[in-house]
Chains A and B, each alone.
Chain A
Amino acid sequence: NAGVTQTPKFRVLKTGQSMTLLCAQDMNHEYMYWYRQDPGMGLRLIHYSVGEGTTAKGEVPDGYNVSRLKKQNFLLGLESAAPSQTSVYFCASSLMVNTEAFFGQGTRLTVV
């Protein structure tokens, strides 16, 4: 039982490049979330999903897109990376709304 797995763990992008971060959970959870965390700051919600095929905007959605084609996967895309998107990205999942959320190990993204 792996829990929540994020791929990749580290990535360096050049400004303007695109990439997709993958979050996979094996707990049959309905809810999934993507966050970013800048140094010394709290987590900020980017997008979330309340079930397969659904997505919704969080606090800081601009510059990111997401998809939840399969219940176990939640993808975060950056179409044109900017240095301001340098951050640590965390994915989380929960069985239902406001139940215990489980987090992945994070993806450290640097945009140069």
Chain B
Amino acid sequence: LAKTTQPISMDSYEGQEVNITCSHNNIATNDYITWYQQFPSQGPRFIIQGYKTKVTNEVASLFIPADRKSSTLSLPRVSLSDTAVYYCLVGRMDSSYKLIFGSGTRLLVRP
């Protein structure tokens, strides 16, 4: 299971772009990178998943460099409602994978 390292917390202001980087130095060839978002008193919500290069959806973009040893979740023009904990998960698409969450990054968006 690839170990992930994320910043404990980040601060931003409304309207800014926020980039949260996750390190996963021992990522395996078959591993995918997935990000979840958790609001207070709610269960996590899937944001985005990728394998390499760049993935974009209506919520965020995920940038993965060629060596795949890190990934960056990019949130464009954040609002107060983006205040949440963001989790980076790394794992493969086989039965050995357990959906295990780390401590995540606590993002605070200020007015």
Chain A positions within 8 Å of B, measured between CB atoms, are 4, 31, 33, 35, 41-45, 48, 50, 58-59, 90, 92, 94, 96-98, 100-106
B51 to chain A, nearest CB (A): 11
Contact pick for A48, options B42, B99, B101, CB 8 Å: B99
Provided the pairs A97-B93, A98-B32 are in contact, do residues A43 and B44 lie with their beta carbons within 8 angstroms?
yes
Query: What are 19 of the A-B contact pairs (CB < 8 Å)?
Result: A31-B99, A33-B99, A41-B103, A42-B85, A42-B101, A43-B44, A45-B98, A45-B99, A48-B98, A59-B100, A90-B43, A92-B44, A97-B94, A98-B91, A98-B93, A101-B46, A103-B45, A105-B43, A106-B43
Provided the pairs A33-B99, A42-B102, A45-B100 are in contact, do residues A98 and B42 lie with their beta carbons within 8 angstroms?
no
Question: A106 and B42: CB pair below 8 A?
Answer: yes
| Nearest A residue (CB) for B90 | A98
A57 to chain B, nearest CB (A): 9
Chain A residues with CB under 8 Å of B46's CB are: 100-102
Question: A94 and B99: CB pair below 8 A?
Answer: yes
- B32-66: CB near A (< 8 Å → 1, else 0) gives 10101000011111100100000000000000000
A43 to chain B, nearest CB (A): 4
Chain B residues with CB under 8 Å of A43's CB are: 44, 87, 101
Tell me, yes or no, whether B13 is within 8 Å of chain A by CB: no
Chain A residues with CB under 8 Å of B98's CB are: 45, 48, 58-59
Contact pick for A101, options B94, B95, B99, B102, CB 8 Å: B99
- Please measure, in the bound complex, the distance between the C-alpha atom of A96 and the C-alpha atom of B104, giving whole angstroms: 23
Question: B43 and A103: CB pair below 8 A?
Answer: yes
- Please measure, in the bound complex, the distance between the C-alpha atom of A94 and the C-alpha atom of B44, giving whole angstroms: 13
Question: B100 and A103: CB pair below 8 A?
Answer: no
| Nearest B residue (CB) for A94 | B99
Chain B residues with CB under 8 Å of A90's CB are: 43-44
B56 to chain A, nearest CB (A): 16
